[in-house]
Amino acid sequence: MTSDDAGRWRRSQPARNQRPPTVATRAVSVDIDGVSIIADVDIAIPAGSLTAIVGPNGSGKSTLLRALYRACRPSRGTALIGAADVWQMPVRDSARLRAVVTQHHGETADFTVREIVSMGRTPHKRPLEGDTRHDRDIVDAALNRVDMAGFVDRYFQDLSGGERQRVLLARALAQQSPLIILDEPTNHLDVHAQIGLLDILADLEATIVVAVHDLNHALAYSDNVVVMCNGKVVAAGPPETVITPTLLADVFRIEARISRNPLTGDHYVVYGRCR
Ligand SMILES: Nc1ncnc2c1ncn2[C@@H]1O[C@H](COP(=O)(O)OP(=O)(O)OP(=O)(O)O)[C@@H](O)[C@H]1O
């Protein structure tokens, strides 16, 4: 990394109560109905880094993230946020510690945008406690951050796919967690919104773990890449050392070259034919 590159990752937001944690898995395996989905996964994510999880369809990215955010209990192994076992900590602690942005929006259908984003404040409240002025200010700031302030009274179910993604990101921002886990958050977003979302993530003072399909996003925005294939981690480290033509041929079965983006200076992949 050049010093310019390093400067890019300086987080611009003020420190919050909780410091960004490390994230790790130790030999995590998930079996479903006797079938191995991920096996012996070891990852080590530095505090405050943005880590991209990449890999072909069905390679186990979502399953790994689900093991980290308590949606899919590992059959074996340990998932750690800081020194704490994710699956042993009280639910409320885990809800404060990490925000999650997924593709599944079922629970949010009948709520307005403001109500959805206000849900991000729930882990900070006592049962039945209403929103304070402080909560409302945080919700407004989160909606402004994702350019959705004009949508507060709209129903979530009436929004486009891209607008929904931005609202769910606002909910995660309103949660003010030191760890944010996102599963393919750029799906449904136009190019401007994709870059805007990644810029927001890169600016946060948090540990970010994000599954992405666009390898150029991983190259441009991540500090660290984890590559999954057939339920296993096959490579991990700084993106420019991990995402190579050899790896792209072996894991993604594609001919490719790595070049430099003349506009940003970032590495990017030029794709050739399937192999
Ligand atoms: N509940 C389940 N029951 C059976 N198989 C499952 C279940 N959940 C996941 N799988 C299988 O496990 C594999 C890994 O799925 P996962 O969603 O983790 O992959 P992924 O890398 O996120 O894929 P994609 O890039 O397509 O989103 C897939 O083959 C999937 O069909």
pTM of the full structure: 0.91
Q: Residue 4 domain-assigned?
A: no
Cβ–Cβ under 8 Å, residues 142 and 200: no
Query: Cα(37) to centroid of ligand 1, in Å?
Result: 7
pLDDT on residue 2: 36
- The number of the ligand 1 atom at minimal distance from the alpha carbon of 56 is 25
pLDDT on residue 124: 86
State which residues form the domain around 234.
Answer: 23-274
User: Is 154 strand, coil or helix?
Assistant: coil
Q: Residue 160 domain-assigned?
A: yes
Q: Residue 14 domain-assigned?
A: no
pLDDT on residue 103: 78
pLDDT on residue 138: 96
Nearest residue CA, atom 12 of ligand 1?
37
Name residues contacting ligand 1 (CB within 6 A). 32, 37, 55, 57-63
Q: How many domains does the chain have?
A: 1
Q: Dig out the tokens for 68 from the structure.
A: 């980290």
Nearest residue CA, atom 1 of ligand 1?
32
| Residue-wise pLDDT tens digits, 122-160 | 888 877 778 889 999 999 999 999 999 999 999 999 998
| CATH code: domain of residue 152 | 3.40.50.300
Query: Cα(63) to centroid of ligand 1, in Å?
Result: 7
Query: Cα(17) to centroid of ligand 1, in Å?
Result: 35
Query: Cα(243) to centroid of ligand 1, in Å?
Result: 23
- The rounded distance, in Å, linking the Cα atoms of 13 and 65 is 25
Alpha carbon distances (Å) from 121 to 58, 72, 249, 252: 33, 24, 44, 40
User: Is 72 strand, coil or helix?
Assistant: coil
ipTM over 0.95? The verdict is: yes
Helices (H), 179-269: 191-203, 215-221, 239-242, 245-252
Task: Look up residue 159 and give its amino acid.
Answer: L
pLDDT on residue 9: 29
- The rounded distance, in Å, linking the Cα atoms of 142 and 171 is 7
Nearest residue CA, atom 31 of ligand 1?
58
Q: What is the mean pLDDT of the chain?
A: 90
Q: Residue 8 domain-assigned?
A: no
Q: Residue 165 domain-assigned?
A: yes
Element (DSSP H or E) covering residue 6 = helix 3-8
Q: Residue 81 domain-assigned?
A: yes
Q: Residue 264 domain-assigned?
A: yes
Q: Residue 55 domain-assigned?
A: yes
Residues of the chain with pLDDT under 50: 1-16
- The number of the ligand 1 atom at minimal distance from the alpha carbon of 231 is 14
Burial class of residue 231, CB neighbours in 10 A (0-12, 13-18, 19+): buried
